[in-house]
Amino acid sequence: MTLTSKDKQTLITLANSARVNAYVPYSNYHVGATLRTKTGKIYTGVNVENAAYPQTMCAERVAIFKAVSEGEKEFEAISVVTDNGGSPCGGCRQVMAEFGLDTVVLLADKDGKLVKETTVKELLPEAFTPEKLSK
């Protein structure tokens, strides 16, 4: 599937809408993500903070884990929306790399403006992937 401009904007709009459900009492940094699988299914996620900070879960991983829990493991694109168009953390980049370096990553701000379009491979060069494990 090729992502059209309309497809990209839809993913961004869905992620921006999901942000209202973020649980962020500590940082107040709302993040929404929308993942589109190669079968065309859509999964959203939001960041969920915790008083024990290491237990916080990022929006990107929530969306990916929802998809995997439903049997999806091949992804086409993920959009991430924050107030300022922030980029995924290292942990999220590694999780994204697990499922495909060619996944398109759309970064957008709170106004729904696409700030950057990239790929997981560009976000995480020299990624550690399943193929790197010795058999």
pLDDT band at 135 (very low <50, low <70, confident <90, very high): low
Active site residues: 60
What pLDDT is attached to residue 127? 94
What pLDDT is attached to residue 31? 98
Domains of the chain and CATH, by start? 5-124 (3.40.140.10)
Which of 67, 25, 60, 20 lies closest to 43, judged by CA? 67
Average per-residue pLDDT for the chain: 96
Rounded to whole angstroms, how far apart are CA atoms 73 and 51?
A: 31
Entry pTM: 0.95
pLDDT band at 63 (very low <50, low <70, confident <90, very high): very high
pLDDT in tens, 2-59: 899 999 999 999 999 999 999 999 999 999 999 999 999 999 999 999 999 999 999 9
Which of 40, 76, 41, 83 lies closest to 59, judged by CA? 83
What pLDDT is attached to residue 75? 98
Angle formed at CA 107 by CA 69 and CA 14, multiple of 5 degrees: 55
| Strands annotated E in 1-135 | 32-37, 42-46, 75-81, 104-108, 114-119
pLDDT tops 80 at residue 62: yes
| Strands annotated E in 5-84 | 32-37, 42-46, 75-81
Question: Residue 6: how many CA atoms within 13 Å on its side-chain side?
Answer: 0
What pLDDT is attached to residue 77? 98
